[in-house]
Amino acid sequence: EKSRTNAFGKKPRCTGSGWLGQYFDIAAGVISRLMCHWSLFDLPVAILDLISKINLFRYKGKTSLPYEPVYSDQQARFLSEYRFDVSKLEPVVAKPHSPDNRALARECKDVKINRVYIGSCTGGKTEDFMAAAKVFLASGKKVKVPTFLVPATQKVWMDVYTIPVPGSGGKTCSQIFEEAGCDTPASPSCGACLGGPKDTYARMNEPQVCVSTTNRNFPGRMGHKEGQIYLASPYTAAASALTGYVTDPREFLQ
């Protein structure tokens, strides 16, 4: 489909169920040593938002117990092979109403937003809140739209309140969020990511525009069926909260 591109700006040969039953060997190389376990599982979604039968990751230096790892050998044949220079990637967002609807964050700078949501299983990790805190810290300003924070787990919730943010002089994420005017970090849950009843924390009960670190932006996903959801990284989400528009976070991280 001509209008569809993946997170790297390439037009996929097939999307969604078209890859159903295929076997993927994602050789992440150096990236796999820099990213946390959960972030590595985000790779298939970032690449194609695919529904695959098996995803194989190479965990160098990780335990191979209690299972026996299986790797592709030198004789393996692949349908396609893609290589990307990640140093040339720019911050991207997924515009409404599909994770496939990719655009550069800077291309959406005129999109006015009503709220920001940082959370979910994919966007509510400790490193995600650390990333958002770094943007708020670098800015030193307060957010211009309601900014909701939902840690993925109880452990992440504790980290938000206890782990100092590098370069902050000992401040934790929670302290930086409070200074920036964000909502108090909520108890771990799916929150507004799944929509839910009208009293669900941070649910979109009106046709608003939201920048979110969640993983889906279909109509009605976070509540109101006319809500506009822009999926983004925690860096982009935090930068957007500070300006009230979809914002390239590099403006705050130079």
* Per-residue pLDDT, 163: 98
Give pairs for 5-9: CB < 8 Å, separation 24+.
5/100, 5/102, 6/46, 6/47, 6/48, 6/49, 6/100, 6/102, 7/46, 7/47, 7/92, 7/102, 8/47, 8/82, 8/84, 8/89, 9/92, 9/102
Contact 230, 93 (CB under 8 A): yes
Exposed / middle / buried, residue 51 (Cβ in 10 Å: 0-12, 13-18, 19+): middle
Nearest to 246 by CA among 123, 94, 45, 142: 94
The pTM score is: 0.79
Share the mean pLDDT of the chain. Answer: 84
Residue 54 has pLDDT above 60, yes or no: no
What are the structure tokens assigned to 198, written together? 């009208």
* Per-residue pLDDT, 101: 96
* Per-residue pLDDT, 82: 85
Weakest mean pLDDT among 34-43, 97-106, 209-218, 241-250? 34-43
* Per-residue pLDDT, 70: 77
- Arch. (CATH architecture) of 92-251: 2-Layer Sandwich (3.30)
Domain boundaries, the chain: 16-88, 92-251
Q: What is the pLDDT of residues 81-117, one digit of tens each?
A: 888 898 899 999 999 999 999 999 999 999 999 999 9
Weakest mean pLDDT among 72-81, 112-121, 131-140, 167-176? 72-81
Kindly state the average pLDDT of the residues 217-240. 98
What are the structure tokens assigned to 179, written together? 């200074």
Rounded CA gap, 113 and 72, in Å?
45
